[in-house]
Amino acid sequence: MMTFNKIFPAITLVAAIVILGSCKKEGSRSTGWEYNNPKNGGFEVREYTEQQTGPGLVFIEGGTFAMGNTQDDVLFDWHNQPRRVTVSSFYMDQTELRNLDYLEYLYWLNRVYGTDYPGVYRKALPDTLVWRDKLAYNEPLVEYYFRHPAYRNYPVVGVSWVQANDYCTWRTDRVNEMLLIKKGILSMDPAQKNENNFNTEAYLAGQYEGLVNKPLPDLNPNGTGTRKVKMEDGILLPKYRLPTETEWEFAALGLIGNTIYERIVERKNYPWNDNVVRTSESKYYGSFMDNFRRGRGDYMGVAGNLNDAADIPAPCGSYFPNDYGLYNMAGNVSEWVLDVYRPMSSMDVSDLRPFRGNVFKTQERDAEGFLAEKDSLGHLKYRDVTTAEAANRTNYRTADNINYTDGDYASNIDAELWKNVSKDTSSTNLMYQYGVASLISDKARVYKGGNWKDPAYYLSPGTRRFLDQDAASDAIGFRCAMTRVGGAIPGK
């Protein structure tokens, strides 16, 4: 029998080997050259664990699911037939964006651009007139809902799809700026004005300096000794954006709580398991699961026994979360998603990360091939990819793929109509010309989920509707998402 004294030297030897091995710097498996050594050129490989979760977000583990209707199509739209697709892991806001969040955004726009570019601020203002009703007294909501502190935690409404995307861009920059400040690389700069404001893309392109505190050391022997953060450092987060329709629907269903060894034991009609809108949990038995209209004229129940207790949107985070920890994915306010609306999306999109709405762009460059100077607001300039640039590609041939297989030349069966129309695949002169050939257009964007004035039918994540991207409503808000980079499961 081996004694402790006999095995102790062996343990000591192994520990010494591990310690000595850990002291050796990592080298390239391709060339054998040592990383992070300025003597041999200084190619840097910074330590990186994995993506951190951005402010306000929760992790959504991806997977396969049956996307589409979960109940009878009572409206006979037939635009969401069930099909199996796969969603990659991603992040999503735990709640809808609040009035307070949007007020912070407006304050920043006014502080930075208000003096010289007041139109930027005005363009971002939500449409508070969406509350008006010809036969209802809603003027108090017009005046108070967005700005009064009593409503600061209520979901922002009256925001168009375009405005929601602009907010996502702004939020990306503010979060990444704060990350650099927390790392000690930049100092606080409250005096930013006009084009001299932190923009993630402009910073990475070397077109924004900021108040530098402690720049990173540059190991390049031909460099200046210090440098800015690069994408390869893993410090900056990916962009905040609107979720795709598929991501939103997948997250709303929250099937992670119904899965045992890849077997979904109960398909849901709603973000919760019961096929009714009240909880069966004994402690809260009979409580409403979200905010919706129970019937004509019944928005919140009877005095003394209110059901959802909200005649208009309720504060964000009210009611019960789903199995991902997301709130109000069935009611309260409907939410914008990225996709362009097409009636047949269920039939002609990809089965991995489905999305319709791609318009491929590239950064503008000058005659010498360098990036063009940022614009007067501090943003880099983009343009659509040209046909010539995509000519030799096999995965796409044009910049605008909104109408691919649904609205382009190839998808129209009436050749006579197309005799005098360009065969450019982005053309919608015939199939999706609003008010002439269709009631939708390339500006029709999908919004998902029920809202405070919807009947229970729309609480199902499978339902889908659309609205022009420049329009707004008193029942539509939004929440942001973020792409997950790296592995599908944190820590693995």
Say what the pLDDT of residue 71 is: 78
| 126-169 tens-digit pLDDT | 999 999 999 999 999 999 999 999 999 999 999 999 999 999 99
Residues 293, 358: Cα–Cα separation, whole Å: 36
| 3-state SS track over the chain | CCCHHHHHHHHHHHHHHHHHHHHCCCECCCCCCECCCHHHCCCCCCCCCCCCCCCCEEEECCEEEEECCCCCCCCCCCCCCCEEEEECCEEEECCCCEHHHHHHHHHHHHHHHCCCCHHHHHHHCCCHHHHCECCECCHHHHHHCCCCHHHCCCECCCCCHHHHHHHHHHHHHHHHHHHHHHCCCECCCCCCECCECCCHHHHHCCCCCCCECCCEECCCCCCCCEECCCHHHCCCCCCEECCCHHHHHHHHHCHHHHEECCEECCCCCCCCCCCCCECCCHHHCCCECCCCCCECCECCEECCEECCCCCCCCCCCCCCCCCCCCCCCCCCCEEEEEEECCCCHHHHCCCECCCCCCECEEECECCCCCECCCCCCCCCCEEECCCCCCCCCCCCCCCECCCCCCCCHHHCCCHHHHCCCCCCCCCCCCCCCECCCECCCCCEEEEECCCCCCCHHHHCCCCEEEEECCCCCCCEECCCEEECCCCCCCCC
136 token code pair: 């209802």
Say what the pLDDT of residue 482 is: 98
Top-ranked range on mean pLDDT: pick from 78-82, 109-113, 299-303, 397-401:
109-113
**The pairing of beta strand 334-340 with beta strand 444-448:** antiparallel
Q: What are the CA-CA distances from residue 359 to residues 53, 105, 254, 339, 375 (Å)?
A: 28, 27, 30, 12, 21
Report the greatest alpha carbon distance in the chain.
Answer: 93
| 270-299 tens-digit pLDDT | 898 877 777 767 677 778 889 999 889 999
Range from 29-33, 152-156, 247-251, 418-422 carrying the lowest mean pLDDT? 418-422
Residue 257 has pLDDT above 90, yes or no: no
Say what the pLDDT of residue 310 is: 92
The β-bridge partners of 340 are 445
pLDDT band with cut points at 50, 70 and 90 for residue 81 = confident
Q: Kindly tell me the sign of the dihedral angle through the C-alpha atoms of 430, 436, 439, 443.
A: positive
Residues 472, 272: Cα–Cα separation, whole Å: 29
Write the class of the CATH domain 57-357+449-483. Answer: alpha beta
With CA atoms as reference, report the closest residue to 267 among 70, 64, 450.
70
336 token code pair: 């914008």
Say what the pLDDT of residue 76 is: 64
Enumerate residues 6+ apart whose C-beta is below 8 A from 156. Answer: 96, 97, 98, 99, 101, 102, 126, 146, 477, 478
With CA atoms as reference, report the closest residue to 55 among 478, 479, 449, 476.
479
Domain ranges within the chain, ordered by starting residue: 57-357+449-483
The β-bridge partners of 259 are 264
What are the φ and ψ backbone dihedral angles of 302, each rounded to 5 degrees? -100, 140
| Proportion of the chain above pLDDT 70, given as a percent | 90
Say what the pLDDT of residue 212 is: 96
pLDDT band with cut points at 50, 70 and 90 for residue 80 = confident
| 169-205 tens-digit pLDDT | 999 999 999 999 999 999 999 999 999 999 999 999 9
Residue 238 has pLDDT above 90, yes or no: yes
Residue 213 has pLDDT above 90, yes or no: yes
Phi-psi region of 280 (alpha: psi -120 to 50; beta: other; left: phi over 0): alpha
| 446-456 tens-digit pLDDT | 999 999 999 98
Are 228 and 215 contacting, i.e. CB atoms less than 8 angstroms apart?
Answer: yes
pLDDT band with cut points at 50, 70 and 90 for residue 364 = very high
Are 250 and 67 contacting, i.e. CB atoms less than 8 angstroms apart?
Answer: yes
Enumerate residues 6+ apart whose C-beta is below 8 A from 437. Answer: 430, 431
| 426-441 tens-digit pLDDT | 555 567 777 777 888 8
Q: Region 381-392: what's the mean pLDDT?
A: 93
Residue 6 has pLDDT above 70, yes or no: no
